[in-house]
Amino acid sequence: MPNFTEQPRPVPRELTVQPSPSTAQPPSDARQLRRVALSGLLGTAVEFYDFLVYGTVAALVFGDLFFPRADTAVGTIAAFGTFAAGYVARPLGGIVFGHFGDRIGRKSMMLLTMVLMGCGSFLIGVLPTYDAIGVWAPVLLVTLRVVQGLAIGGEWGGATLMVVEHAERTQGARRGLWSSFTQLGAPLGSVLSAGVVTLVSALPDGEFRAWGWRVPFLLSIVLLGVGLFVRLKVAESPLFAQARHEPEPGRPPVVEVLRRPKPVLLAACVGIGAFTAQSLLTGFMISYAVQHGYTRPQVLTAVTVASCVALVVLPAASALSDRVGRRPVVLAGAVASAALAFPVLALVDSGSPGLLILALALGHGVAQSTMYGPLGALLSEMFGTRVRYTGASLGYQAATLLGAGFSPLIASSLLASSGGGSAPVSLLLCGGAAITALTVWRLRETHADTLDAPPSRTTTPTPEGTLR
């Protein structure tokens, strides 16, 4: 068993980054950090709300409303296919918004991605169904889903880097804890989306299918206004403001990142376990549990409780990674996810609402959140300032595509061909966790590094797989 606390082998000083010294916190910097953290939390929660509402409603009614010619199984697979379309667009969004985020600033990209996400979600809420406009309904649905994917592909990088880079100047040793505020947007968005869908799904089935499913999407316009109000008050990242005075690299950031792809490949693989678990134990689980006899409110309640557990576990895991390192915490979450995979599905298959809540609280609230919490800081620490938005976004969004984008589609297909046994879902969870665990062994510990890299180190790859 490797020792995750030992220092890596010595490398030339020009290829290393040194631990940041303790610095006093000017009151204005501390206030700005808190404001940026709140902006990351609220903004990311709004965007994950929009993204996850789609997954929840797709599991409940989109198969019938937009793919009515298909049988139940095929309709569900088609609905999750449009769900996957959003994930396919996310790496492209990471590249596009990452390029401009690395060249013209983090803040402007944060505002633009939020507008695109909120407007795309609102338009889904007013979209005619197949019965009204025929084949154009699923075509427009996929188009708007791609817009959502592009937006959220750029959102995470901007929000996370704003927090991490502000924290570097005030509380550099606590980047994990502060970046967890942005990471909390995922479970908070899940709580909001599940809560709203739970309320509207309590309507009679005919009314829910006629208009109730639209309400969560239409509410996005209100959340968009709140998010923009908060984000307009934050200052640009101080590290980016410093870096923009340096000579601009001749090559685009994505070319710099992909010239030596090892860091972005490691970043993608280390996140696969967390996103596989997130996707299978939230959106997909709603469809799976309803088909196995649970009511919609029972399943949505379980998802909400699991997300509330995540709101506690996620920052705790992130804070722990500041003390013991990112690698051991992520590894612990991966091992727990694999160990719980079969027990969690067995609890779901029991038919007991109480055990369903316990299953999702353990699998999603505890194991998945332990893997996911440190990712914001870990991926940010793998890239230098001038390519950080592009590199971290591309790695993160590739992980979402591979881990979350196709998992519901694969699981639905395997279940349809295997007669409905839960073993394929458990094996997918184990597979994702195994990829994360193996990747952790290849990573260098970065929690004690500084993000302030001199220009000569901006794009130099270190032997341990980080890009400076």
CB 274, CB 282: distance < 8 Å: no
Query: How does residue 72 score in pLDDT terms, banded at 50, 70 and 90?
Result: low
**Position 75 confidence tier, pLDDT thresholds 50, 70, 90:** low
What is the number of other CB atoms lying within 10 angstroms of the CB of residue 280?
A: 28
Question: What per-residue confidence (pLDDT) applies to 11?
Answer: 39
Look at residue 284 and tell me whether its pLDDT is greater than 90.
Answer: no
What is the mean predicted confidence (pLDDT) over 103-126? 87
Q: Are 440 and 327 in contact (CB under 8 A)?
A: yes
With b for 16 or more beta-carbon neighbours within 10 A and e for fewer, the 25-48 pattern comes to eeeebeebbebbbbbbbbbbbbbb
Q: What is the predicted pLDDT for the residue at 267?
A: 93
Query: Between the ranges 13-27, 42-56, 70-84, 220-234, where is the mean pLDDT highest?
Result: 220-234
Give 258's pLDDT tier (boundaries 50, 70, 90).
confident
Structural domain boundaries of the chain?
29-236+253-442
The pair of three-digit structure tokens given for residue 57, joined into one six-digit string: 């409603």
Instruction: Tell me the CATH architecture of domain 29-236+253-442.
Output: Up-down Bundle (1.20)
Residue 2's φ and ψ, nearest 5 degrees, are -65, 155
Q: Which residues, in sequence order, are CB contacts of 168 under 8 Å at separation 6+?
A: 20, 175, 238, 239, 450, 451, 452
Q: What pLDDT was estimated at residue 227?
A: 80
Helices (H), 350-387: 353-360, 369-372, 375-380
pLDDT higher than 90, residue 275: yes
Q: What is the mean pLDDT of residues 97-125?
A: 86
Q: What is the pLDDT of residue 466?
A: 53
Burial of 13 (0-12, 13-18, 19+ CB in 10 A): exposed
Helix (H, G, I), strand (E, B) or coil at 467: strand
Using a pLDDT cut of 90, give the percent of the chain over it.
26
Highest mean pLDDT among 56-65, 88-97, 416-425, 452-461: 88-97
Q: What is the pLDDT of residues 161-183, one digit of tens each?
A: 888 888 876 655 588 898 898 88
| pLDDT confidence bin for 78, thresholds 50/70/90 | low
- Tell me the average pLDDT across 201-206: 84
pLDDT in tens, 180-200: 988 898 888 888 887 888 888
pLDDT of residue 21: 40
The residue among 126, 145, 1 whose CA lies nearest residue 87 is 145
- pLDDT at 468 (0 to 100): 45
Structure tokens at 427: 């094996």
Mean pLDDT of 411-416: 83
pLDDT above 60 (res 74): no
Mean pLDDT of 394-404: 88
Average pLDDT of span 64-88: 67
The pLDDT value recorded for residue 414 is 83
- Residue 9 pLDDT more than 60? no
Residue 4, pLDDT score: 46
